[in-house]
Amino acid sequence: MKLIVGLGNPGAKYDRTRHNVGFAVVDRLARRHAGGATARARFDALTVEAPIRGERCLLMKPTTYMNLSGRAVAAAVGFFKLDVASDLLVIVDDVALPCGTIRLRGEGGAGGHNGLGDIQRALGTQAYPRLRIGVDACPPYMDQADYVLGRFTPEQEALMEPALERAADAAECFVAEGLAAAMNKFNARPQPPRAEKPRGGVPPGGEPPGGGA
């Protein structure tokens, strides 16, 4: 059993906010692997069981609000007797990463994130895998709580859509191949497509060789 936890806050007013990107990735995984399944209330969370690449998985969205996320995670870990270093993946927003960037790590501090901090407290360790999704740093004129509870700008939305898909792909890789393989494949920043070189040696907007007045 693998436990994939997306962090966020319950309720319609928090949908599509920066703090709820973990929920968004879990929703994508549920659509991919458990289409039509009804979420079940367990462990102070909404959960869906889904087979991912042949592995039994529990997809979880805690309903305790962000700062009590550890309650749901610890309850499921204890019930299924999971090894948090290899069976648990927590998906979370991160203001320290550029918007649209994803990073996998096997351990680390909470970095001021209330959800990660409560999970660390509940599990008694910070050595559990997490998938961080960048939402950009808070602008200096805003309170950080207001920023993460706000919705993305149109420019950020354009970056987040492919990032959420990539994050779901990374979670699938974690399940099937383990953390090290997922880190190797998904921690590299996606490269933009290369521009085609001009044919015939003519630089863009320039003169052919030997041309000019």
19, 71, 113, 130: which is the annotated catalytic residue? 19
DSSP string computed for 70-86: HHHHHHHHHHHT--HHH
The reply to whether 19 belongs to the active site is yes
**Amino acid residing at 76:** A
Closest CA to 1 of 68, 61, 49: 49
**Residue carrying the six token digits 């962000």:** 66
Strand partners, 117: none
Cβ-based neighbours of 189, under 8 Å, separated by 6 or more:
101
The catalytic site residues sit at 19
